[in-house]
Structure 1
Amino acid sequence: MKITTLIENLKNDSQDLINESGLSLYIELDNKRILFDTGKTGSFITNAQKLGIHLEHVDAVVLSHGHHDHGGGLLPFFKVNSKAKVYMKRKAAGDYYFHILGFNKNIGIDKKVFEEYSNRIAYIDRFTEIMNEIYIITDIEEQDLTPRGNKYLFAKEGNKRVQDKFEHELMMVIKQQDGICVFTGCSHKGTPNMIRAARTIFPSLDIKAVIGGFHLMTIPMLKSFSASQEEIQAIAQMIVDENIQKVYTGHCTGVKAYKNLKHILGSKIEYIRTGSQIYV
């Protein structure tokens, strides 16, 4: 399996690509082409063109949750791809906000996605195999810590703004002969909880890799880092306990948290940047 990072907060200086605060991964496996998230804008499409990736051939899109830095590129994507279904949880179409000290920002996905392209969307609200050996996990039990930064994230219920419970978040698992790979968008439900959810469904399979963000920047737009050592240690301990072979992370994990994890996990963990390619 080949995974290309089309959008991430950072990029390699050697490549003429666009970076933005968001995430988009392009996955090639057994003649299948999957897009996991679409970043904040259509910049991932420009990057794909520069990297020689033809997004018109994408077979399926998986949206990790209903925030604009993961689903903001859907409208531009629909203009270049006429066939791929977009798999998401039903509540990804909701209204979501970042709120702190009187500052309020809408971070939901453009409603045109749901109004103009409803025929392209497949809502998934239970464990589902969307393609051969490609699974969506929707139920993630919160047994361990969830990210501290969640306290600034809200949802709209009726006319009220309430704390976001992340009922719009899902994760993807790809099963191979030698184990499974777990894909997270931001891990708002907590990385250890997501790993445990995958382990519960696939108890006898090795976890080859975990790929995605861990939401350890409390205020991503300010690049603020305040994940506790307890959060860092809980993630690292789960990775060790489950004997996960490799971790590829970035985006909302943040560089500072990554360095802390790197200190504990060493060669088990790598940071993905816009344009990076990995094979698992």
Structure 2
Amino acid sequence: MKLTVLVDNNTYIDQYYAGEPAVSYYIEIDDLKILFDTGYSHIFIKNAVSMGIDLNAVTHIVLSHGHNDHSRGLKYLREQYALPNARLVAHPLCFRPKSYENEYIGAPFSLEEINRLFCYQPAEAPVFLSENCIFLGQIPELYSFEKRKAIGTTIIDGAEREDLCLDDSALVCRTDQGLFIVTGCSHSGICSITDHARKVCQDQRITGIIGGFHLFDTDSKLEETIRFLSDLSPDMLYPCHCVSLKAKAQMLKYMDIEEVGVGLTIQL
């Protein structure tokens, strides 16, 4: 498995790529070339070109959820790449309209447009993209401290409802060292995601996790998450995107964490 960060909030000194508060990773595993999330703008494409990554080779587009900092880049991808054989995998609620304080924060295409423009595979249950790469589908709520909180509203069956981000999912890669989990924002909870991945893959070993954990405050949720991750003791832990500096500083008191930036490559 090889993962390359195409977009992150952070950039490295002396590596002149562009960043934005968003997520996009390029993952190579088995015979797959996976674009995991597409960031907010065209930046992921610009960075991929600079890194020598040919997005024409993409076999799968996987969206962690429908928020625009993970999905809005789809329109730029569609404008510049045909990708007639690439499969788009996401939760069935991913392309429902999403709003927050009267501002649209959802994907750039409606469900009807997605079905017309992409080879779309909605997946509420786990999907094995290959023997060693699994889209986790809808994440069960396994810990009370990770109780879902609404982020704005969405439209389901024609009615406006609180958006509990049920479309939030993740990807897991099986390696010889154990499972490597790739998340977008972890609205469903990084601990629940991790245990769901272990159950789906029937493997308790976690070698690494990268992505947003949606941790901002130094509160009881952070304390419980730190306790879980400390007991888990993965070889590599890359909290990024929606993890605040305060949260990272608190995590560092109990475990090693790694810096994430555009251009980071992880190879297992």
Using structure 2 for the length normalisation, give the TM-score.
0.90
Residue 151 of structure 1 and its aligned partner are, at CA, apart by 4.2
Distance 1:18 1:114, change over 3 A: farther
Residue 161 of structure 1 and its aligned partner are, at CA, apart by 3.7
Q: Which residue pairs with 1:261 in the alignment?
A: 251
Residue 46 of structure 1 and its aligned partner are, at CA, apart by 0.2
Residues 86-125 of structure 1: pairs in structure 2 closer than 5 A: 86-99=88-101, 104-111=102-109, 114-115=112-113, 117-125=116-124
Using structure 1 for the length normalisation, give the TM-score.
0.86
Residues 67-146 of structure 1: pairs in structure 2 closer than 5 A: 67-78=67-78, 79-82=80-83, 83-99=85-101, 104-111=102-109, 114-115=112-113, 117-144=116-143, 145-146=145-146
The residue identity in structure 2 corresponding to 1:276 is L
> Aligned to 1:242, which of 223, 232, 235?
232
Contact 2:9 2:241 (8 Å CA) reproduced: yes
Separation (CA, whole Å) in 1 of partners of 2:82 and 2:207: 31
Separation (CA, whole Å) in 1 of partners of 2:117 and 2:236: 37
Q: Does structure 1 residue 272 correspond to structure 2 residue 260? A: yes
The residue identity in structure 2 corresponding to 1:279 is Q
Q: Which residue pairs with 1:197 in the alignment?
A: 196
In structure 1, stretches of 5+ residues that fail to align are 218-226
Contact 2:67 2:105 (8 Å CA) reproduced: yes
Q: Which segments of structure 1 move beyond 6 Å, counting only runs of 4 or more?
A: none
Contact 2:182 2:211 (8 Å CA) reproduced: yes
Aligned to 1:167, what secondary structure does the other structure show? coil
Contact 1:57 1:81 (8 Å CA) reproduced: no
> Aligned to 1:251, which of 241, 250, 253?
241
Separation (CA, whole Å) in 2 of partners of 1:236 and 1:20: 26
Q: Does structure 1 residue 176 correspond to structure 2 residue 164? A: no
Residue 142 of structure 1 and its aligned partner are, at CA, apart by 1.4
Separation (CA, whole Å) in 2 of partners of 1:60 and 1:17: 24
Residue 32 of structure 1 and its aligned partner are, at CA, apart by 2.7
Residues 12-31 of structure 1: pairs in structure 2 closer than 5 A: 12-31=12-31
In structure 2, stretches of 5+ residues that fail to align are none
Contact 1:61 1:85 (8 Å CA) reproduced: yes
Contact 1:6 1:47 (8 Å CA) reproduced: yes
| More off after superposition, 131-140 vs 67-76 | 131-140
Distance 1:152 1:32, change over 3 A: closer
Q: Which residue pairs with 1:155 in the alignment?
A: 154
Aligned to 1:4, what secondary structure does the other structure show? strand
Residue 119 of structure 1 and its aligned partner are, at CA, apart by 3.9
Task: Supply the RMSD in Å over aligned alpha carbons.
Answer: 2.1
Q: CA offsets per residue over residues 49-107 of structure 1, 9 Å max, x none?
A: 111111111111110001111011112223324131111111111011223xxxx2110
Contact 1:93 1:114 (8 Å CA) reproduced: no
Q: Which residue pairs with 2:164 in the alignment?
A: 165
Residue 147 of structure 1 and its aligned partner are, at CA, apart by 7.4
Residue 238 of structure 1 and its aligned partner are, at CA, apart by 1.4
Contact 1:45 1:77 (8 Å CA) reproduced: yes
| More off after superposition, 11-20 vs 104-113 | 104-113
Contact 2:5 2:25 (8 Å CA) reproduced: yes
| More off after superposition, 174-183 vs 104-113 | 104-113
